[in-house]
Amino acid sequence: MNDFIYYAPTKVYFGKDKENEVGKIIKDYGYKTIMMQYGKESIKKIGLYDRVMKSLKDNEIEVIEMGGVEPNPKVEFVREAIKVAKENKVEMILAVGGGSVIDSSKATAAGAMCDFDVWKFSSGEETPKAALPVGCILTLAAAGSEMSASAVLTDLSINMKRGYGSEFNRCKFAICNPELTYSVNKYNTACGIVDIMAHTMERYFTPVDDTPLTDSIAESILKSVIDAGKVLMTDPENYEARATVMWASSLSHNDLTGCGRANYLAVHQLEHALSGEFDFVAHGAGLAVLFPAWAKYIYKHNIKRFSQFARNVWNVKETDDEKCAIKGIECMEEFFKSLGMPTTLKEIGISNENAEKMALLCTFNKKRTIKSFVELDYEIIKDIFEMC
Amino acid sequence: MNDFIYYAPTKVYFGKDKENEVGKIIKDYGYKTIMMQYGKESIKKIGLYDRVMKSLKDNEIEVIEMGGVEPNPKVEFVREAIKVAKENKVEMILAVGGGSVIDSSKATAAGAMCDFDVWKFSSGEETPKAALPVGCILTLAAAGSEMSASAVLTDLSINMKRGYGSEFNRCKFAICNPELTYSVNKYNTACGIVDIMAHTMERYFTPVDDTPLTDSIAESILKSVIDAGKVLMTDPENYEARATVMWASSLSHNDLTGCGRANYLAVHQLEHALSGEFDFVAHGAGLAVLFPAWAKYIYKHNIKRFSQFARNVWNVKETDDEKCAIKGIECMEEFFKSLGMPTTLKEIGISNENAEKMALLCTFNKKRTIKSFVELDYEIIKDIFEMC
């Protein structure tokens, strides 16, 4: 077991109708002027926008609106939001949406407290030293951004999608009402499930031994999400299944599943290159394509761990460890398919002739490698993309 | 699944030698004058006292010492500590010890910010509105106080041991070095294991359905602690087992195992009456006596849940649910015995002729009942103590 720091200070309000308490919650913190970020029209269609605005108004909160956050949130939008936040002296940011809206809000919150360009956090040139508080009302169970320390931005001008971690990226509060995800369609529900599983598996598949408690919690999250995911494919308004997936979303990425383990997120880094270059690729779909290929390439470096995964998560009974490991990966791939997820690049309309370009993007033109069971260098990453 | 609020903001520094960072951590928060509470001489024997004092001195922290916290911490001590804290204008409390020292520090921290007697928190007459920050260096994996919202005090003048919960009871930081628990003897290690399991089981055995993720995490904690506990009986300096038990201690009582479930802690309330009246009873030993008896009395009210416990935690293969439930309780009792724990009152030198007195204490002279699968009233509690 590795040493670790665990710090997940987000206060989670979980359950039905909790969004109606948002004004009271913000008032109790003492904030009077806030910025509210959201995406397109979907929060208006489900009536959420009106309920939130009413709660804020009832509690005399002044709201500066910034709608229009896009999937794979863009740094250009964040730059504009920072300008507005500074001009209006907003005291906190309220994100109403999924991971993109929350990430955009986190970057705005940190950018509003500094004088340099916000992309420097993503590029690694700077780290946040302060940030406005961020609260969120979650409408999509997927990214885990509501409790995570990470934020991911995209700069289309350089085709780059980059994440950065910081304690200042932790939301102060998160309002999680599973009913708000009833209207999420089957494809996006499935993308979310893959993302949640990926956050858990990224930490599970690292070269550290002797973390039985963390392993077992990770396996619990995976099994619960798999069971709930099967239910949601035919019964999208099943409260208990939506609730299980939503809570798993938070736990999968608040670092609980990584305690004592290495924290690499290798497949996420490959996927960020993919959806950074091909903006139409949903993050979860990109992960569904890349995870099985990465696993097939890498499992030989830790057959014991992959066979543990097969036995404890997928209930594979095979006694030969290597065969068992392979069957576990096949189960994962079959499950992704059963959710209607793509598992090849071709299915998402991308030729694997792009493998070279992807490998260059992932390695910043061969200037870095990515940590995993073995270091993923340009050649290996190209191979993995070719396998997709 | 019930609605819930999850809020566990304690920053946990977990791993070897982490206690040497305490001065730096406190300095970074900006505190200059602190009170340090600890128990008897054990922290001096293992060299911890010297290392902590050196780290504090190196970082120019002024320390007011309050040694001598007793097991089942006494309100008289806390009153004195509050006086000293006020006189010296201490800015935070550092607890170096186990649950008793941390609980004493929490009560001191809240008491230092009010003008009435601190027992009023325990009696329920008042709730904390503010508290000094508390940090801890954990030396015993058991109570989970390092991340919990609860504190338990004893007032010997009225033979009362009472806990109270408050957000202000959450430690700001917790330093958890499993090596510091190497010197804990077999009996106290076993008491800790029972306490950790009890914190998990108390939430598991409540009348709520449809919490598969929380259930599975609880089962993970129980299984991991059982496995690690077996190791520690013969190999007390096994780092991985000590680490598993220590991290389980924090997770068992930081509310993670209760998300979406009812939070009754019925057996704890029976045990508090027992060790409140008989001060020589270790909390874990009291729980080991009471939990099997309570379970045998109560299982009929939710055979499904007790059989799930038997199957998922103890791997009982029995197909008949009731037989399975009973076997699970037997497994728990046998495990406690294997740790050298008592499972009858007689073994701890108490006649079950005290059942009536215990039932009166638990019910405040028949003025309250305790929530469980069924309400535990005077008659039922008397029956349970007679079964012990």
| Model confidence pLDDT, tens digit, residues A149-206 | 999 999 999 888 899 999 999 999 999 999 999 999 999 999 999 999 999 999 999 9
Rounded (5°) CA angle A36-A42-A45: 110
Interatomic CA distance for residues B295 and B328, integer angstroms: 10
* Chain A to chain B Cβ contacts (< 8 Å): 101
Closest residue of chain A to B212, computed from CA coordinates: A224
pLDDT at A92 over 90: yes
pLDDT at B40 over 90: no
The residue-averaged pLDDT of A66-93 equals 97
| pLDDT score, position B232 | 98
Residue B341 CB coordination number (10 Å): 22
Interatomic CA distance for residues B289 and B284, integer angstroms: 9
Question: Per mean pLDDT, which range of A113-117, A160-164, B173-177 is the poorest?
Answer: A160-164
Interatomic CA distance for residues A9 and A174, integer angstroms: 11
Instruction: Determine whether the interchain pair B18/A3 forms a contact, defined as Cβ–Cβ distance below 8 Å.
Output: yes
Q: Is B5 exposed, middle or buried (0-12, 13-18, 19+ CB in 10 A)?
A: middle
Determine the residue type at A307. S
DSSP secondary structure, A85-121, as one string: HHHTT-SEEEEEESHHHHHHHHHHHHHTT-SS-THHH
- Which residues sit opposite A97 in a β-bridge? A138
Give the nearest partner residue to A1 out of B5, B240, B251, using CB atoms: B240
pLDDT tens digits, B202-236: 999 999 999 999 999 999 999 999 999 999 999 99
Cβ contacts of B256 on chain A, cutoff 8 Å = 256
Closest residue of chain B to A241, computed from CA coordinates: B210
Residue A177 CB coordination number (10 Å): 23
The answer, for B61 touching chain A at a CB cutoff of 8 Å, is: no
The residue-averaged pLDDT of A371-380 equals 95
pLDDT tens digits, B45-61: 999 999 999 999 999 99
- Provide the greatest CA pair distance for chain A: 65
- Which residues sit opposite B151 in a β-bridge? B164
| pLDDT score, position B28 | 97
Give the nearest partner residue to A223 out of B210, B216, B228, using CB atoms: B216
Instruction: Determine whether the interchain pair A7/B8 forms a contact, defined as Cβ–Cβ distance below 8 Å.
Output: no
Going across the sheet that includes B92-97, the strands are: A62-66, A33-38, A92-97, A134-138, A173-176, A4-14, B4-14, B173-176, B134-138, B92-97, B33-38, B62-66
Are B271 and B290 in contact by the 8 Å Cβ rule? The answer is yes
**A contact residues 226-285, partner B, Cβ 8 Å cutoff:** 227-228, 239-240, 243-244, 247-248, 251, 256, 259-260
Which residue is it, tokens 């806990």?
B163
Q: A30 CB contacts (<8 Å, ≥6 apart)? A: none
The answer, for B29 touching chain A at a CB cutoff of 8 Å, is: no
Which residue is it, tokens 């863009």?
A74
| CA distance to partner chain B, nearest, from residue A381 (Å) | 34
pTM tops 0.95: yes
Nearest alpha carbon to residue B373 among B185, B128, B209, B230: B209
Q: Would you tell me the crossing angle of helices A283-298 and A186-204 to the nearest 10 degrees?
A: 40
Which ranges in chain A belong to alpha helices (H)? 22-29, 42-45, 48-58, 75-87, 99-111, 119-123, 186-204, 212-234, 239-253, 266-277, 283-298, 303-314, 321-338, 355-362, 378-387
Domains annotated on chain B, with CATH: 11-180 (3.40.50.1970), 185-387 (1.20.1090.10)
pLDDT at B352 over 90: no
Residue A70 CB coordination number (10 Å): 16
Q: How far apart are the two ends of chain A, measured CA to CA in Å?
A: 33
Instruction: Determine whether the interchain pair A14/B8 forms a contact, defined as Cβ–Cβ distance below 8 Å.
Output: no
Rounded (5°) CA angle B251-B256-B260: 160
> Across chain A, what does the average pLDDT equal?
96
Give the nearest partner residue to A15 out of B4, B11, B248, using CB atoms: B4
Tokens of A133: 């508080």
Interatomic CA distance for residues B198 and B292, integer angstroms: 11
Are B62 and B33 in contact by the 8 Å Cβ rule? The answer is yes
Instruction: Determine whether the interchain pair B6/A12 forms a contact, defined as Cβ–Cβ distance below 8 Å.
Output: yes
Q: Is A328 exposed, middle or buried (0-12, 13-18, 19+ CB in 10 A)?
A: buried
Q: Tell me the pLDDT band of B160, cut-offs 50, 70 and 90.
A: confident
Interatomic CA distance for residues A81 and A68, integer angstroms: 11
The residue-averaged pLDDT of B138-166 equals 94
Closest residue of chain B to A12, computed from CA coordinates: B6
Q: Tell me the pLDDT band of B159, cut-offs 50, 70 and 90.
A: confident
pLDDT tens digits, B230-251: 999 999 999 999 999 999 999 9
Interatomic CA distance for residues A243 and B212, integer angstroms: 10
Q: Tell me the pLDDT band of A24, cut-offs 50, 70 and 90.
A: very high
* H/E stretch holding B217: helix B212-234
Q: Pick from B220, B226, B227, B263 the residue to mutate for testing the A interface (most A CBs within 10 Å).
A: B220
Are A290 and A388 in contact by the 8 Å Cβ rule? The answer is yes
| CA distance to partner chain B, nearest, from residue A349 (Å) | 36
| CA distance to partner chain A, nearest, from residue B7 (Å) | 5
Cβ contacts of B7 on chain A, cutoff 8 Å = 11-12
Nearest alpha carbon to residue B52 among B30, B19, B94, B27: B19
Instruction: Determine whether the interchain pair B12/A5 forms a contact, defined as Cβ–Cβ distance below 8 Å.
Output: yes
For residue B284, how many C-alpha atoms fall within 13 Å in the half-sphere facing its CB?
27
Rounded (5°) CA angle B311-A201-A276: 150
Q: Helix or strand or coil: residue B338?
A: helix
| pLDDT score, position B276 | 85
The answer, for A61 touching chain B at a CB cutoff of 8 Å, is: no
pLDDT at A327 over 90: yes
Phi-psi region of A278 (alpha: psi -120 to 50; beta: other; left: phi over 0): beta
Nearest alpha carbon to residue A155 among A75, A83, A269, A78: A75
The residue-averaged pLDDT of B187-192 equals 97
| CA distance to partner chain B, nearest, from residue A250 (Å) | 11
| CA distance to partner chain A, nearest, from residue B230 (Å) | 14
The answer, for B12 touching chain A at a CB cutoff of 8 Å, is: yes
> Across chain B, what does the average pLDDT equal?
96
Tokens of A277: 């270059």
* H/E stretch holding B253: helix B239-253
Q: Pick from A172, A179, A215, A216 the residue to mutate for testing the B interface (most B CBs within 10 Å).
A: A216
Q: Tell me the pLDDT band of A301, cut-offs 50, 70 and 90.
A: very high
Instruction: Determine whether the interchain pair A221/B243 forms a contact, defined as Cβ–Cβ distance below 8 Å.
Output: no
Tokens of B58: 């190196």
Give the nearest partner residue to A216 out of B212, B223, B259, using CB atoms: B223
The residue-averaged pLDDT of A308-316 equals 98
Instruction: Determine whether the interchain pair B224/A216 forms a contact, defined as Cβ–Cβ distance below 8 Å.
Output: yes
Cβ contacts of A12 on chain B, cutoff 8 Å = 4-7
**A contact residues 177-216, partner B, Cβ 8 Å cutoff:** 210, 212-214, 216
Q: Would you tell me the crossing angle of helices A212-234 and A239-253 to the nearest 10 degrees?
A: 140
| pLDDT score, position B23 | 98
Q: Is A367 exposed, middle or buried (0-12, 13-18, 19+ CB in 10 A)?
A: exposed
ipTM for the predicted complex comes to 0.96
The answer, for A7 touching chain B at a CB cutoff of 8 Å, is: yes
- State the Rg of chain A over Cα: 20
Give the nearest partner residue to B14 out of A3, A210, A227, using CB atoms: A3
- Which residues sit opposite B86 in a β-bridge? none
Nearest alpha carbon to residue A122 among A89, A84, A73, A71: A73
Instruction: Determine whether the interchain pair B243/A1 forms a contact, defined as Cβ–Cβ distance below 8 Å.
Output: yes
| pLDDT score, position A201 | 98
Give the nearest partner residue to B217 out of A18, A220, A239, using CB atoms: A220
Determine the residue type at A214. T
Q: Helix or strand or coil: residue B207?
A: coil
Cβ contacts of B220 on chain A, cutoff 8 Å = 213, 216-217, 219-220
The answer, for B224 touching chain A at a CB cutoff of 8 Å, is: yes
Closest residue of chain B to A252, computed from CA coordinates: B213
